[in-house]
Amino acid sequence: GAVVSQHPSRVICKSGTSVKIECRSLDFQATTMFWYRQFPKQSLMLMATSNEGSKATYEQGVEKDKFLINHASLTLSTLTVTSAHPEDSSFYICSARVIAGNEQFFGPGTRLTVL
Partner 1 sequence: AQTVTQSQPEMSVQEAETVTLSCTYDTSESDYYLFWYKQPPSRQMILVIRQEAYKQQNATENRFSVNFQKAAKSFSLKISDSQLGDAAMYFCAYRSSRYNNNDMRFGAGTRLTVKP
Question: By the criterion CB under 8 A, which residues form the site for partner 1?
Answer: 32, 34, 38, 42-46, 49, 91, 93, 95, 97, 102, 104, 106, 108-109
- Considering the complex, state which of residue 11 and residue 82 has its C-beta at the smaller distance from partner 1: 11
CA distance 25 to 2: 8
Name the minimum Å distance from CB 110 to partner 1: 10
Whether the CB-CB separation of 23 and 49 falls below 8 Å is answered with: no
Of residues 80 and 91, the one with the C-beta less far from partner 1: 91
Nearer to partner 1, 45 or 82 (CB): 45
For residue 56, the 8-state DSSP code is P
| Closest distance of CB 13 from partner 1, Å | 19
In sequence order, the β-bridge partners of residue 33 are 50, 96
Find out whether 97 and 2 touch, Cβ atoms under 8 Å. no
